Structure 1
Amino acid sequence: MTRKTARPLLWLACLLAVYLCAPFIASIPQVGHADWTGVDWRGTWSAVAVSAGSASVAALVILIGAVPLGYWLSRSTSRGMALLGFIVQLPLALPPLTSGILLLFLLGPYSWLGRLTNGALTDSFAGIVLAETFVAAPFLIVAARSAFAAIDPVYEDVAATLGHRAASRFFRVMLPIAWPSIRAGLVLAWLRAFGEFGATVMVAYHPYSLPVYTYVVFGGQGLPAMMPLLLPTLVIAVLCAALSVAWRDGRSSLFDMAENGDAADQQTQSEARPTLPNPRLAFALRRHLGAFDLDIEWTPSTRRLAIIGPSGSGKSLALKLIAGLERNEAGFVHFGETQLDALPPEQRHIGYVPQDYGLFPHMTLARQLSFPVDADAASARYWVEHLGLSALMGRLPRQLSFGQRQRVALARALSRHSQLLLFDEPFSALDTPRRRRLQQALRALQREISAVTVLVTHDPDEAALLADEVLVIERGRVLQAGAVDHVFRQPASLQVAALLGLHNVGEGAIRAPGSIETASGLAIDTADRAIPVGQQVMWRVAPSSIAIVADGAHAGTIDSVELRHGDLFAVAEIGGMRFDIACDGEPAHLLQRGPARFAIDPRGVSVWTSGARVMPQENVLSAAAHQ
């Protein structure tokens, strides 16, 4: 922010601050004119006690109901809940006297509720509490709703995969994260209840609350007699301000709960564990979300798996369906002989690491590791030492680097001896060097443990490094599945090749033994003569098998020379097709933009049959744009 921009903002801030402070300053000279001798201190302290007591009871009632209501309002998208959210905020817009009149329709002596209670709900302490609850509750409801809406749902998802049921997830995760905002809303609700006049005077004129008593004294004795009544109000305001300052940076100990889940959860979780010594994952997932349909099926035979595809292809949704965090509308999820889709997420005994790792912001590293239901302390200590986290046990997530957070999330998942680990693009937010280091660390970890790992990624290199089998999807459909080396060496279509970032790949037909005619009419020789003439094929040319030579058989144009990962490549157009050419060691005079001739070594041309239809060139470019 520039100084020119900041100065007007500072002036506006100071102007409002001066206005808010001015009444307090203006009241100071009036203290000397106060009628201290005529003060009815007994009546004053009685009114203070009534206001403080009723405001406290009302705040407690509001806290018990407003927090759950705010939570459901923040999570529901139904029209009914939206209408309810609108109605419960109406008291904020109503004049207090109007609120009091509305309450009389419900609580007054001539209403059905008033007749039922024999008028006990008006002109009583209960009437004051009910009036204050009505006008003050929206402050906490709005604060709670905003606080819960600001919390990433991934925290609930992670807590579910760590074995915690709905109530435990709310009280141990959601409520502690939202508590600072809820606490502020609770203070506002208490202050609003303490100072309520309009609704109170309509519903319960007696016993006097402090605002009503102040009004009565002012009407009967004037301003000097009322001045001493300001002291209790000012003292309470100062105390509330002091509490706000003390709470600003402090952490509440209200939610310092037990580190382990209840015994019932642990027993249920133990019963739900797969019993096979070396189980494999298989699934059929179907889910309809608006205009998007996911329909994929896969039965891999190895432990290290990857799901790869562009953004919006359904990768993360597939992972949530496996974890039970989204509803599988049809199909199945099997892990060995265990039918996971029959279990809620807290009973599937899986490890789930979302994109931002899902570390609970209010828990230290030590509490993160002890939070899972049935967490094994010995296993947690092992992974803490193994992953180099020993010196970080007292830190909060905000005090950790991205790499440290990733290791904590791994240790938390592994502390349960989970046999199925799900990773949702865990390295996407990292810079390249750090991402490569952590990928290598995860690869070493995969060799050490016996768990099945499923990695969701859009990075083909990451999938090739961390998986033995890969599932390629786009727009919710399977394009190809199989062993990593097979899928990368022989993509089923140009669409798959584009998503995997493969170059020098095309479609064509065998026109003569060992000769391919590409879709653009280019003739390429191959050493593979096993495929019969007339067969539709796909082909790939290794970049190192193309040479720039003066007497080459193919004419073309060098469009550019690029440096990739320290290696030099020329991008050329040959016979209407684009090729990448490895150029390390080529003479500099040959690497000039413009016309050139090329030789293609048949031994570097691989060819295979494919039933996939030819993809229009514009769609290939669109798919490649996702990379």
Structure 2
Amino acid sequence: MKQPAARPLLWLGALLAVYLCAPFVASIPQIGQADWAGVDWRATWSAVAVSVTSASVAALVILAGGVPLGYWLARSRSRAVALLGFVVQLPLALPPLTSGVLLLFLVGPYSTIGQLFGGRITDSFTGIVLAETFVAAPFLIVAARSAFAAVDPVYDDVAATLGHHAMSRFFRVTLPIVWPAIRAGLALAWLRAFGEFGATMMVAYHPYSLPVYTYVVFGGQGLPAMMPLLLPTLAIAIVCAVLSVYARGPHVAHTAPAENGDEPASFASAAPARAVTGLRLAFDAQRRLGAFSLDITWRPQTRRLAIIGPSGSGKSLALRIIAGLDHNDTGSVMLGDANLGALPPERRPIGYMPQDYGLFPHMTVAQQLAFPVGADAASARYWLAHLGLDTLTARLPHALSFGQRQRVALARALTRHSQLLLFDEPFAALDTPRRRRLQQSLRALQREIDAVTIIVTHDPDEAALLADEVLIIEHGRVLQAGPVNDVFRRPASLRVAELLGLHNVGEGVVRAAGEIETAKGLRLPYAGTPFAPGTRVMWRVAPRALRATPEGAWTGMPAGHALRHGDRYVTIEMGGEAFDIAAEDAPCTNDGVQRFSIEREGVSVWAAPHS
């Protein structure tokens, strides 16, 4: 039988575990040789007290300064700060005796600081704390920096849009998220300070800490006299280990059924009374980021809006500018008569939903809804019941299904009575059936609330369902904007048609009344507005306007199949152009040249944009 690939790793781990446990096992037979009668317990417990107290004071000092320093190192991109991050880790690499020598240069009796304090810093409790702080601080700083660097910036963004200023966001969101890592780093720092010997001996030989006293006893009386001193050290280590395990607590996870949890909630009852504002959004967004520049202007006339574009087109950046999460170089963001561009994100009446909904991992559903500044408790209770969340209030985000998370994020935004709801591809990570259900749920909610909603998406079907007007952008520029029906019926360019997923669209030239010639030379009939011969136009053939029939005037060949929204289509190559035709209107056989008819009324023609 083939051995699992991970087996060598398990053996290596077991070997190291055996080595780490072996000294403790080896010490057991030696206990009988310990000189218990000669122990000076008064001096021993005095040394224990000094070590415990000094390590605790050093840990508090490290906590007070190490957390801000770790945050600064994680968030700053300055080279000077990067160099500082390297320097503060040096005590990890230095031998403890060397660390003590360096401290003597700083606070020793002959240093400027030492003389300022009359040489009383060394050989004192203060000196012990200084030595332990210098040696142990990197353990917490490294843990804090790594934890802060790992925090998703989306949590800070969402907290800002929920009305919290920078300090509130730090203490209520960022710090609780990183606290487990900081707590672990603090425990390591305390243990390192408690066991510090080299630097402490150089800076403060007196009063005796436990490591120094152990060294003194060993040097003066030998190993048997020193062995009893291991007892308090091991006892403290065991207590710390037990507390570490206990602090983790049992991991209790609620598992919500994926399907039932994602069913759209009922929207039969009326929403809480809200004044009908009739607000409209208007914005000019201009932003340069390296080689990329965003320059778009939009004046929509309705409340349900969508921004469509490929990845990297600037649609999410535009949404962040509207939310105030990114700087607008020039231009304005107006909601009715209010100039949102002059306000920080925490003062804008908005609700922001990123792709993963931005639920704070340390808050229950009830705490999420109580978090927004100015949250309405009555509204929170209403939306909990209305969105089917009232039985989930004690759950953390990891215990919720995708659909439940989306509804919690919606409820959280709605408890502030937000006038502007911003959705950044909220369904991108979901499978198609679940995405369609949640889209329908959001569409039902849009009908209830009197808020402007903007959906950023690359899915044209999603935009058509959730918006009345669309803005199509690429490379930071507007390709087309207008009502959904107009844009989908008459895309401004082939690129717009491609981004909208439209088929049977092309460019051509009017050759005669009611007839155009495509770019590939195919002649198509059309009905509707007449154009003068020679006019450049765009055209679209409805799939139902094409039909296989023996009497057809056009010839073509089947070239493939496609499935869209559950309907089958057959691709036909005709005169160099590719057309999708409904499967039931396609030829019965895929062999050879077939004849087709084209209904004149099914061909739309409109003026092409000027080059």
**TM-score range normalised by the length of the shorter chain:** over 0.9
Q: CA deviation at 1:138?
A: 0.6
Aligned residue for 1:539, secondary structure, equals strand
User: Are 2:128 and 1:128 equivalent residues in the alignment?
Assistant: yes
Write out per-residue CA displacement over residues 114-155 of structure 1, whole angstroms, 9 at most, x where no aligned residue.
111222221111111111111111110110111111111100
Determine the C-alpha separation between the residues in 2 that align with 1:563 and 1:482.
28
Determine the C-alpha separation between the residues in 2 that align with 1:279 and 1:199.
67
Partner of 1:438: 438
Determine the C-alpha separation between the residues in 2 that align with 1:488 and 1:528.
18
1:130-149 aligned at under 5 Å gives the runs 130-149=130-149
Determine the C-alpha separation between the residues in 1 that align with 2:573 and 2:587.
20
| Amino acid in the other structure paired with 1:443 | R
Partner of 1:244: 244
8 Å contact kept, 2:277–2:450:
no
Structure 1 residues 593 and 78, CA, compared in 2 at 3 Å: closer, same or farther? farther
Partner of 1:501: 501
Determine the C-alpha separation between the residues in 2 that align with 1:612 and 1:222.
97
Structure 1 residues 581 and 612, CA, compared in 2 at 3 Å: closer, same or farther? farther
Structure 1 residues 250 and 163, CA, compared in 2 at 3 Å: closer, same or farther? farther
Determine the C-alpha separation between the residues in 2 that align with 1:612 and 1:242.
76
8 Å contact kept, 1:372–1:416:
yes
Determine the C-alpha separation between the residues in 1 that align with 2:22 and 2:60.
33
Partner of 1:118: 118
Aligned residue for 1:391, secondary structure, equals coil
| Amino acid in the other structure paired with 1:608 | W
Partner of 1:85: 85
| Amino acid in the other structure paired with 1:181 | A
Aligned residue for 1:430, secondary structure, equals coil
Aligned residue for 1:331, secondary structure, equals coil
8 Å contact kept, 1:492–1:612:
no
Q: CA deviation at 1:561?
A: 2.8
Partner of 1:198: 198
Identity of aligned residues (%): 72
Structure 1 residues 570 and 612, CA, compared in 2 at 3 Å: closer, same or farther? farther
8 Å contact kept, 1:276–1:337:
no
Q: CA deviation at 1:359?
A: 0.5
Partner of 1:601: 599
Partner of 2:97: 97
Partner of 1:373: 373
The farther-off stretch of 521-530 and 212-221 is 521-530
Determine the C-alpha separation between the residues in 2 that align with 1:242 and 1:531.
85
Partner of 2:215: 215
Determine the C-alpha separation between the residues in 1 that align with 2:3 and 2:242.
32
User: Are 2:448 and 1:448 equivalent residues in the alignment?
Assistant: yes
8 Å contact kept, 2:285–2:331:
yes
Determine the C-alpha separation between the residues in 1 that align with 2:135 and 2:453.
53
Determine the C-alpha separation between the residues in 2 that align with 1:152 and 1:328.
23
1:554-593 aligned at under 5 Å gives the runs 554-584=554-584, 586=586, 588-589=588-589, 592-593=590-591
Q: CA deviation at 1:7?
A: 2.3
What 5-or-longer segments of structure 1 have no aligned partner? 252-273, 614-627
Aligned residue for 1:479, secondary structure, equals strand
Partner of 1:415: 415
Aligned residue for 1:393, secondary structure, equals coil
| Amino acid in the other structure paired with 1:600 | I
| Amino acid in the other structure paired with 2:516 | I
Match of 1:610 among 605, 608, 611: 608
Determine the C-alpha separation between the residues in 1 that align with 2:525 and 2:398.
58
| Amino acid in the other structure paired with 2:153 | P
Aligned residue for 2:596, secondary structure, equals strand
Aligned residue for 1:288, secondary structure, equals strand
1:315-330 aligned at under 5 Å gives the runs 315-330=315-330
Q: CA deviation at 1:249?
A: 3.1
Q: CA deviation at 1:498?
A: 0.4
User: Are 2:71 and 1:66 equivalent residues in the alignment?
Assistant: no
8 Å contact kept, 1:559–1:594:
no
Q: CA deviation at 1:532?
A: 2.1
1:143-162 aligned at under 5 Å gives the runs 143-162=143-162
Q: CA deviation at 1:612?
A: 4.6
Aligned residue for 1:28, secondary structure, equals helix
Write out per-residue CA displacement over residues 67-120 of structure 1, whole angstroms, 9 at most, x where no aligned residue.
111112111222122111111111111111111111111111111111112222
| Amino acid in the other structure paired with 2:183 | R
Q: CA deviation at 1:220?
A: 0.4
8 Å contact kept, 2:156–2:169:
yes
8 Å contact kept, 2:276–2:450:
no
Write out per-residue CA displacement over residues 441-477 of structure 1, whole angstroms, 9 at most, x where no aligned residue.
1111111110000100000000000001100011111
1:155-554 aligned at under 5 Å gives the runs 155-249=155-249, 277-554=277-554
8 Å contact kept, 1:455–1:463:
yes
Write out per-residue CA displacement over residues 493-532 of structure 1, whole angstroms, 9 at most, x where no aligned residue.
1010100000011111111111111111111110124222
Determine the C-alpha separation between the residues in 2 that align with 1:32 and 1:287.
76
| Amino acid in the other structure paired with 2:32 | G
TM-score relative to the length of structure 1: 0.92
Determine the C-alpha separation between the residues in 2 that align with 1:446 and 1:518.
41
Determine the C-alpha separation between the residues in 1 that align with 2:40 and 2:230.
14
Determine the C-alpha separation between the residues in 1 that align with 2:551 and 2:82.
75
8 Å contact kept, 1:567–1:584:
no
Partner of 2:270: none
Partner of 2:268: none
Structure 1 residues 566 and 279, CA, compared in 2 at 3 Å: closer, same or farther? closer
| Amino acid in the other structure paired with 2:344 | P
Aligned residue for 1:322, secondary structure, equals helix
What 5-or-longer segments of structure 2 have no aligned partner? 252-273
Q: CA deviation at 1:277?
A: 2.4
| Amino acid in the other structure paired with 2:604 | S
Aligned residue for 2:358, secondary structure, equals coil
Structure 1 residues 214 and 47, CA, compared in 2 at 3 Å: closer, same or farther? same
| Amino acid in the other structure paired with 1:88 | V
Q: CA deviation at 1:238?
A: 0.3
Q: CA deviation at 1:42?
A: 1.1
Q: CA deviation at 1:182?
A: 0.8
Determine the C-alpha separation between the residues in 2 that align with 1:441 and 1:566.
20
8 Å contact kept, 1:468–1:483:
yes
Structure 1 residues 612 and 424, CA, compared in 2 at 3 Å: closer, same or farther? farther
Partner of 1:624: none
Determine the C-alpha separation between the residues in 2 that align with 1:430 and 1:91.
47
Q: CA deviation at 1:290?
A: 2.2
8 Å contact kept, 1:306–1:455:
yes
The farther-off stretch of 287-296 and 89-98 is 287-296
Write out per-residue CA displacement over residues 256-288 of structure 1, whole angstroms, 9 at most, x where no aligned residue.
xxxxxxxxxxxxxxxxxx999222111111112
Determine the C-alpha separation between the residues in 2 that align with 1:612 and 1:245.
71
What value does the CA root-mean-square deviation take over the aligned residues? 1.5
| Amino acid in the other structure paired with 2:382 | Y
8 Å contact kept, 1:218–1:226:
yes
Determine the C-alpha separation between the residues in 2 that align with 1:375 and 1:30.
66
The farther-off stretch of 311-320 and 556-565 is 556-565
Determine the C-alpha separation between the residues in 1 that align with 2:44 and 2:194.
14
Aligned residue for 1:163, secondary structure, equals coil
| Amino acid in the other structure paired with 2:608 | S
Q: CA deviation at 1:250?
A: 5.7
8 Å contact kept, 1:559–1:593:
no
8 Å contact kept, 1:287–1:294:
yes
Structure 1 residues 455 and 117, CA, compared in 2 at 3 Å: closer, same or farther? same
| Amino acid in the other structure paired with 1:611 | P
| Amino acid in the other structure paired with 2:413 | A
8 Å contact kept, 1:493–1:612:
no
